[in-house]
Amino acid sequence: MNKNIKYAIGEQDFQALRKDGYLYIDKTHYIDKLLKHDGKYYFLARPRRFGKSLFLSALQYFFEGKRDLFKGLYIESINKDWQPHPVLRLDLNTGDYSELGKLESVLDITFRNWEKEYGLEVKDEELSQRFQHIIESVHEQTGMQVVILVDEYDKPLVKNLNNDERFEHYRLKLASVYSNFKSSAAHIRLVFLTGVSRFSKLSVFSDLNNLNDISFDDDFADICGVTEKELLENLQEGIENLAKEYEIEFTDALRELKENYDGYRFSRAGSEIYNPWSLLNCLSKKDIRNYWTFTGEPSIVVEALKRENSDLKEILNTRCNVNILAGLDLRSSNPLALLYQAGYLTIKDYDKRKRIYTLGIPNKEVKEGLMDELLKSYVKIKKGNVESVVFKIIDCIEEGKPKDLLSELDSFLSGIPYEMKMEDENNFQNAIYILLTLIGAKAKVEEHTSDGRIDLVIETSKYVYLLELKYDKSSKQAFAQIEDKQYARKFRKDHRTIFKIGANFSSETRSIEDPVIEVETII
């Protein structure tokens, strides 16, 4: 076992990774699968930081015939044609695309590099025509068909979801460039594109009707990320070091990793996948915390949810068919597309008979990161940050202080801004749902809704809180419901103190009015 394991955090170049002795989890059998497929054009969608660029890099060096880099890996052990092909790799992940012309600049620089490499004349042509000239000239010069790899093909579009002018400008520009995949087909050996979003309604590939989207294929479900089998085969030492750091057993460390970073699934029968960015960061730093959610731009997702006034509890635990997931326009009024493709939702189950997917939040890291951003957006907290508000409420719960708990809830709810139309009960429910989800990771919260009302059952080792929180009704009515439905009965056998709380939130005064609290102490 390697006692000096080197984690390739942020290293996306396969050659550098292999030459510098970094850990590499062998994914080269997917290159073999790809070559056995009857096709020329492939598309793979995965969330950010999932290893798409690294796989594309491995594909590049394989087609360049650099067999020495693959020594000891699956693909090197089988009889493959290692005859080099010219590879044109276009990386669109480098630009910020915040202004018109940014995409053109990235393409011009890339094209100039290719033209210099192959000694081609730089013609003053439209970018699409230049690309066509490069593809056909490189094939003619080398005698080998060209391999084209495009990393994050949709970055300029995703970056401009909220800007109609730039979005449409970049869509048309990309469509013209990518049209060469069809018009220059005779000169192309393989096209492989990666991205976050699906393409069918973006009209970027309207002329390319044979593009094979492998994003949902069972055969390629584990092409990115880390399966539990791969984790145990390659990273056992890292898990042992984490367990030692936290002074816990190996199985407990594995459970923590699974709870925080596992849970992604990308096909009907695929394995559950660990987020590689978070997993490797955690094992390298020997510190269990949120890594992935701080590397992206959750504001795009938050704005989509707010814009459509979505029912958060419903949309974050939902069912849909494959058409909604696989053929999506990211600018659709339904934010489900964006949530799934950005990695905030994943496949949890699949009903073969009905052909319906069940979606949910992948893991604790994603849940806390998303709810943290949503809470900042839904509630304008006047004092302190999100964490301080959550921890104050948790302290009240753990210390058996129901009056202080209501005071903190009252302060929290009063922070919902007027522009969010507090008269809309949906915003009230969403704010409560966000708060409960954040608390639930630490305080064993169970929440359920009925008839537009929120029922809370909060349990600790010493206390049980039964809280009926109504909206524009009355606290007495809320308390009566606790009594009528006998919520306390199931908790009376374990000798914990029970707090029965009926409370009403008034949209007019924007506060909790005249709460009713009753304490049951079982001796």
Domain assignment present for 5: no
Average pLDDT over residues 313-333: 74
51 and 188 in one domain? Answer: yes
Question: Residue 370 domain-assigned?
Answer: no
Which residues, other chains included, contact 330 with Cβ-Cβ below 8 Å and sequence gap of 6+? 157, 158, 161, 197, 198, 202, 337, 338, 341
Of 68-72, 111-115, 185-189, 519-523, least confident by mean pLDDT is 519-523
Predicted pLDDT of residue 522: 66
112 and 195 share a domain? yes
244 and 214 within one domain: no
**Taking 90 as the threshold, does the pLDDT of residue 221 lie above it?**
yes
Q: Which residues share a beta bridge with 320?
A: 357
* Domain limits for position 451: 379-520
At 385 the pLDDT is: 64
The model's confidence at residue 2, banded by pLDDT at 50, 70 and 90, is very low
pLDDT digits (tens, 9 = 90+) for 393-414: 899 999 999 999 999 888 888 7
Amino acid 248: pLDDT: 97
CB 65 within 8 A of CB 15: no
Residue 293: inside a domain: no
**Residues 391 and 451 occupy one common structural domain:** yes
Give one DSSP letter per residue of 206-264, joined into a string: TT-TT-EE-TT-GGGTTSSSEEHHHHHHH-HHHHHHHHHHHT--HHHHHHHHHHHH--B
- For a pLDDT cut of 70, what percent of the chain falls above it? 89
Statement to judge: residues 165 and 30 lie in one domain: yes
What are φ and ψ of residue 226, in 5° steps? Answer: -130, 125
Q: Write the CB contacts of 467 (distance below 8 Å, at least 6 apart in sequence).
A: 455, 456, 457, 458, 499, 501, 502, 503
Structural domain ending residue among the three candidates 288, 318, 337: 288
Q: Residue 350: pLDDT above 70?
A: yes
CATH code of the domain covering residue 66: 3.40.50
Residues 345 and 462 in one domain: no
- Does some domain include residue 211? yes
> Under a CB-based contact definition with an 8 Å cutoff, are residues 194 and 153 in contact?
yes
Ranges 47-61, 152-166, 509-523, most confident? 47-61
Residues 249 and 198 in one domain: no
C-alpha dihedral, 45 to 51 to 56 to 58, nearest 10°:
-150
What is the end-to-end Cα distance of the chain in Å, rounded?
A: 56
**Are residues 52 and 133 both part of a single domain?**
yes
Helices (H), 24-163: 29-36, 52-63, 74-77, 102-117, 127-142, 155-158
> Last residue of a domain, which of 288, 315, 336?
288
∠ CA 113-115-120, nearest 5°, is 160
415-451 pLDDT per residue, tens: 766 555 544 667 777 888 888 888 875 665 554 434 4
6, part of any domain: no
The whole-model pTM stands at 0.86
* Residues 216, 253 share a domain: no
**In total, how many domains does the chain have?**
4
Same domain, 437 and 504: yes
Does residue 452 surpass a pLDDT of 80?
no
Asked if residue 311 is part of any domain, the answer here is: yes
Domain endpoint, select from 220, 237, 256? 220
Distances, alpha carbon 18 to alpha carbons 2, 30, 67, 168, 226, in Å: 15, 18, 12, 40, 18
Taking the CA atoms of 394, 395, 399 and 400 in sequence, report the sign of the dihedral they define.
negative
Residue 289: both structure tokens together: 């915390």
Q: How far is CA 160 from CA 324, 363, 439, in A?
A: 21, 28, 34
Residue for token pair 């210099």: 116
Q: What is the pLDDT of residues 492-518, one digit of tens each?
A: 888 899 999 999 988 888 889 999 999
How does residue 103 score in pLDDT terms, banded at 50, 70 and 90? very high
441 and 398 in a single domain? The answer is yes
Is the residue at 4 inside a domain?
Answer: no
Secondary structure E strands in 402-523: 445-450, 453-459, 463-471, 497-506, 511-520
Question: Does residue 7 lie within any of the structural domains?
Answer: no
* Whole-number pLDDT of residue 447: 47
Residue 186 sits in the same domain as residue 283: no
CA distance 99 to 279: 35
Bridge partners (DSSP) listed for residue 516: 502
